[in-house]
């Protein structure tokens, strides 16, 4: 995207040793400053409502320390 800065807000929850849950407004949205991105951060209430934010689950197969 022409080298422009892209700032997004992600809400992270560690569900277990190998599962990380990520909520975001969406990967298609991009902001040029931190304040604009922070206004899109999903709050606890929004996380409970389906459809308000996108959910991404990241899994790790390697559980070694």
Q: What is the 3-state secondary structure (H, E, C) of the chain?
A: CCCCCCECCEEEEEEECCEEEEEECCCCCCECCHHHHHCCCCCHHHHHCCCCCEEEEEECCCCCC
Dump pLDDT digits (tens) for 3-53. 578 888 888 999 999 999 998 887 788 888 899 888 878 777 777 776 667
Residues 43 and 56: their CA atoms lie apart, in Å, by: 16
Q: What is this structure's pTM?
A: 0.68
Q: What is the pLDDT of residue 10?
A: 87
Across the strands, what pairs with 13?
21
Residues 43 and 15: their CA atoms lie apart, in Å, by: 18
Q: What is the pLDDT of residue 1?
A: 44
Q: Is the pLDDT of residue 60 over 80?
A: yes
């Amino acid at each position: 995207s022409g080298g422009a800065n892209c700032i997004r807000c992600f809400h992270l929850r560690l569900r277990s040793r190998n599962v990380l849950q990520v909520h975001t407004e969406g990967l298609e949205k991009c902001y040029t400053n931190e304040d604009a991105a922070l206004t899109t951060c999903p709050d606890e209430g929004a996380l409970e409502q389906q459809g308000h934010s996108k959910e991404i689950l990241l899994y790790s197969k390697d559980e070694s320390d």
